Copies of this chain bind each other. A is one copy, B any other.
Amino acid sequence: MAVTPPARLLPRKRPHQKRAAVTVDAIFEATVQVLLTQGLDQLTTTRVAARAGVSVGTLYQYFPNKQSLLYALNEHYLDVVAVKVETCCARMQGACLADMVEELVGVYWQAKMERADLTRALYRSVAELDNDALIEVFARRTNAATEAMLRTASDARHSDTTLVTTTLLAVIFGTVRNVFERDLPAPLQNKLRGELAKMCLSYLKAT
């Protein structure tokens, strides 16, 4: 249950002046660019720094090592997704199960798909990381939001909402990742999204 990220992956210091903030932003953006155009194995600190228009030394002033860069990137994008899920769940409180599921799947799917290439790159990059803390935090947040939503469902109540929630999210998150791994044609992807929602709904109704 460790939620504390390893110290070696944390940023070295925060920017205090304006230009430093600009620099850090540029480094982030450059990391994404290099990841997308050159790929994970071509992602080197020197290349990122070059792309960001700063020197390597500058990069190392804010990130203690290469991995901490990827860590921060993943942290950021997981946070974006978590916020979307939380917002969605809050909005759908009191709705019926069908609407809840449709929205939940839709929001998560969309969040991943709208930047598909980046999503894929990040999925790959986490493999090189000690990502337990990231996953843990993301799971906690989405679980809490979803469980709270499900408890307000207008058309059903479950005996073990916690288990149902965990299952639901494991299935949704896992399936989406699986779809990303195989490079399926877009029409089939859309059908799968619908089928996934159907499956989740029939589970929620049946339990």
Q: Which residues of B sit under 8 angstroms from A205, Cβ to Cβ?
A: 202
The segment from A9-17, A19-27, A173-181 that touches chain B is: A173-181
A128 interface contact, C-beta 8 A: yes
Q: Is the interface of A mostly helix, strand, loop or mixed?
A: helix
In the complex, the count of this chain's copies comes to: 2
Q: How many residues of A contact B (CB 8 A)?
A: 39
Annotate A54-90 by CB proximity to B: 1 below 8 A, 0 otherwise: 0000000000000000000000000000000000000
The segment from A45-53, A109-117, A131-139 that touches chain B is: A131-139
Given contact pairs A167-B199, A171-B199, A198-B203, A182 touches B124 in the complex (Cβ within 8 A): no
Q: Are B192 and A202 in contact (CB under 8 A)?
A: no
Q: Are A199 and B198 in contact (CB under 8 A)?
A: no
